[in-house]
Structure 1
Amino acid sequence: MYCRICGTKDTQFQISGKYGCEHCVTVFTVPKQSHRLWIPISLLTELEEIFSRSQSKIQILSLRTRLTRNLAHSLFPYYEPMEMEVKQLLDANGYWENWKEGSNSFIVSKEGVGPVYHLYLGSEDHVRLEILRNLDQSYEQFRNSNKTLPTGVSRENSSLLRLFYRRKHWAYRPGFGFISSCPTNMGKGRRDSLLLGIREGVDPRFFSLFEKLSEFGIEIAPSTDHRRESLGNFRGLVVKISWKNAFAVQKRQFYKILGLRGSL
Structure 2
Amino acid sequence: MSNTQPGLVGRFQSTIDRLWLQIRIVLALSETEFVLRAEKGSFGVWGVLFEPLALMMTLLALRILIRLKSTDLLNPVVWLICGVALLYMFRKIGIKALTGVSKRQKFFFYRRIRPLDTLLASALIEARIHGSVLVLVFLSVSFWNWQIKLDNPALVLVDFLLTIALGLGVGISALVIGHRIPIVKTLTKFGINRLVLWTSGIFYATYTLPGPIRPFVTWNPLLHSVELLRHGINLAYPIPGISLQYLFVCSSLSCGFGLLFYFFNEALLLSDD
Which of the five TM-score ranges fits, normalised by the shorter chain? under 0.3
**Superposition TM-score, scaled by structure 1 size:** 0.24
Considering fraction of residues, name the structure with more helix.
2
**Superposition TM-score, scaled by structure 2 size:** 0.23
Considering fraction of residues, name the structure with more strand.
1
